[in-house]
Amino acid sequence: MMQVHYVMYEGIKFPSAYNSEHSLSFTHNEFQVRDDDIFNVTYPKSGTVWMTEILSLIRSRGCPGWNRTVLNSDRVPWFSTRLGLESALSYLPPRLLTCHLPRHIFPKSFSSSSAKVIYTLRDPRDVVVSSYYFSKMCNSYEDPTSFEQFLRDFLNGELPHGSWFEHVRGWMEMKDKENFFFITYEELKQDLHSSVRRLCRFLGQDLDDDAISSVVQNASFMSMRENPMCNSILLPTDIMDQTKGQFLRKGICGDWENHFTVAQSETFDRIYWERMQGLNVTFPWDQH
User: Which of the residues are catalytic?
Assistant: 100
164-189 b/e with 16+ CB inside 10 Å = b?
bbbbbbbbbeeeeeeebbbbbbbbbb
Helix 124-137, helix 147-155: angle, nearest 10? 120
Closest separation in Å from C-beta 111 to ligand A3P? 25
117-131 b/e with 16+ CB inside 10 Å = b?
bbbbbbbbbbbbbbb
Torsion of CA 179, 180, 186, 190, to 10 degrees: -20
Q: Answer yes or no whether residue 56 interacts with ligand A3P by CB under 6 A.
A: no
Selected from 88, 105, 219, 240, the binder of ligand A3P by CB under 6 A is: 219
Amino acid at 113: S
Size of the site for ligand A3P (CB under 6 A): 20
Q: Are 34 and 91 in contact (CB under 8 A)?
A: no
Q: Answer yes or no whether residue 251 interacts with ligand A3P by CB under 6 A.
A: yes
Selected from 12, 27, 28, 47, the binder of ligand A3P by CB under 6 A is: 47
Which residue, 151 or 224, has its beta carbon nearer to ligand A3P? 224
How many other CB atoms are found less than 10 A from the CB of residue 89? Answer: 13
CA distance 195 to 207: 13
Closest separation in Å from C-beta 271 to ligand A3P? 21
Stretch of residues binding ligand A3P (CB under 6 A), selected from 56-64, 81-89, 125-133, 270-278: 125-133
Which residue, 136 or 249, has its beta carbon nearer to ligand A3P? 249
Q: How far is CA 158 from CA 151, 162, 172, 282, in A?
A: 10, 6, 21, 25
Selected from 27, 72, 81, 130, the binder of ligand A3P by CB under 6 A is: 130
List of residues 6+ apart from 73 with CB closer than 8 A: 83, 84, 87
Closest separation in Å from C-beta 15 to ligand A3P? 13
Closest separation in Å from C-beta 54 to ligand A3P? 8
Selected from 220, 233, 241, 271, the binder of ligand A3P by CB under 6 A is: 220
**Nearest to 161, CA basis, from 177, 179, 138, 182:** 138
Stretch of residues binding ligand A3P (CB under 6 A), selected from 158-166, 210-218, 219-227, 234-242: 219-227
Closest separation in Å from C-beta 176 to ligand A3P? 25
**Nearest to 42, CA basis, from 82, 105, 99:** 99
Stretch of residues binding ligand A3P (CB under 6 A), selected from 8-16, 143-151, 155-163, 243-251: 243-251
Stretch of residues binding ligand A3P (CB under 6 A), selected from 73-81, 154-162, 176-184, 218-226: 218-226
Sites of contact with ligand A3P (CB under 6 A): 42, 44-50, 126, 130, 133, 219-221, 224, 248-251, 255
